[in-house]
Amino acid sequence: MNRTLLLAIVFSLAAATTAATNVHAQVIAIEGATIHVQPGQTIKNGTVIIRNGKIAYIGTSANVPAGATRIAGKGKVVTAGFVEASTRIGLVEVSAVAHTREGRFGAGINAAYRVEDGYNSTSTYIPIARTGGITSAVSAPSGGLVSGTSAWFSMRDRAFGKKAVVKAPLAMYVSLGNAALGSASGSRGMAIKRLRELLDDAAAYAKRRNNFERNQTRKFAASRLDLEALQPVLKGQVPVVVRAHRSSDILAALRIASQLKLRMVIEGGTEAWLVGKQLAAARVPVILNPTQNLPRSFDQIHVVNNLAARLVKQGVRIAISTLGDAANARTVRQLAGIAVANGLTWKQALAAVTSNPANIFGVRDRGTLRRGAAADVVVWSGDPFELSTKVDAIVVDGALQSLTTRQTRLFNRYKKLR
């Protein structure tokens, strides 16, 4: 390699490194907007200053630093970035094409599966999600009795490795009811029995690791890696998300959580309102989709239109999600609007797509605009829960993001036919 070519490569790498560093050095000021600092706290004609990837200032009397990128906020609404609390973004591109699907299992126990190992940081769904104000997403595996662990991902453009993963492992996923019957001989009770057996075996394994390594234990219900993956769950370090709809399945999950002192979250929960008092007493939150209001199966006979409002009234913390729909993650704001139309207050809806998911999963510096928090910020043209509103600007991890997607590129390419 000649000296000129070598120097060119060195300078190119240095420039790339400098560019990457400068993203966090970027200073951004959003001025004159209505700012929802957190649900119930609003600043009129306020300014947000972002520096080094964090919220540096929020208030009404800011001195904007020289050289800052200014965003006019007059007549606009600013919120924390929205969180898609249960999705398959980064795990699927075309659901009908098997080799584009990741982390979806037919049956069995897959506790050791880690979603970050199969996550695609260049998924076409990431920029599409940003057009709906999504700055963070919980991507989770699915299928079988135990699917594995999820991770909290930043929706920043082309964020690879540690830049993409905000927190992992985030939660362990278990399915009860219809979703688990295929791996439990068609019996709901058998699925719960298998779950109890698995958790009991994981506890026994923790006490007898040395015996296990010497093949001096009885046969356990899962592999060594699966049993190891369940240890943080048993210690309460990682919550277990139970996908269940029928009230009886939810009650069975609550009994297991109480006996083993597990941190638990219910996902789906169309009949959760029937056991809302028990959920509130156990401080178990529910991740729900307010449009799942039809009796699609015998697990969902007692569906209601105002599930979100009912649960909040009963004292249950909720998060609103598409529940696994990667292609339509951007519609989370519309789902929140539907919940408002069915009795949820605007403030409660904002919490359900910002601070509540962050609190449920223990990611404290997201879902809020407080000083020092990660700078995930959305500038809206109006009320974010109105269909006509659009995202005017979006900042993820302190960096302005493009609102161009594969869809907009195709539209612009073919809007003029010759």
**Structural domain boundaries, residue 283:** 82-365
| 400, 26 Cβ separation under 8 angstroms | yes
Residues 381 and 290 in one domain: no
Residue 415 forms part of a structural domain? no
Q: Taking the CA atoms of the chain, what radius of gyration do you get in angstroms?
A: 23
Residues 93 and 43 in one domain: no
Residues 114 and 206 in one domain: yes
Residue type, 171: A
pLDDT of residue 13: 43
Residues 39 and 124 in one domain: no
Q: What is the CATH number of the domain that holds 98?
A: 3.20.20.140
The Cα 382–Cα 77 span in angstroms is 6
Residues 315 and 381 in one domain: no
Residues 159 and 187 in one domain: yes
pLDDT of residue 7: 40
Residue 12 forms part of a structural domain? no
pLDDT of residue 133: 98
pLDDT of residue 212: 87
Q: What is the CATH number of the domain that holds 38?
A: 2.30.40.10
Q: β-strand 28-38 against 77-80: which pairing, if any?
A: parallel
Residue 261 forms part of a structural domain? yes
Residue 211 forms part of a structural domain? yes
* DSSP H helices in 69-207: 125-130, 178-181, 188-207
Domain count within the chain: 2
The Cα 406–Cα 330 span in angstroms is 14
Spans of the chain below 50 pLDDT: 4-22
Residues 389 and 245 in one domain: no
Residue 371 forms part of a structural domain? yes
Residue 13 forms part of a structural domain? no
| 339, 331 Cβ separation under 8 angstroms | no
Residues 289 and 339 in one domain: yes
Q: Output the pTM of the full model.
A: 0.90
Residues 150 and 59 in one domain: no
pLDDT of residue 214: 85
Chain CA centroid to CA 57, Å? 26
pLDDT of residue 48: 97
Residues 28 and 94 in one domain: no
Residues 263 and 282 in one domain: yes
Residues 307 and 378 in one domain: no
Residue 5 forms part of a structural domain? no
Residue 1 forms part of a structural domain? no
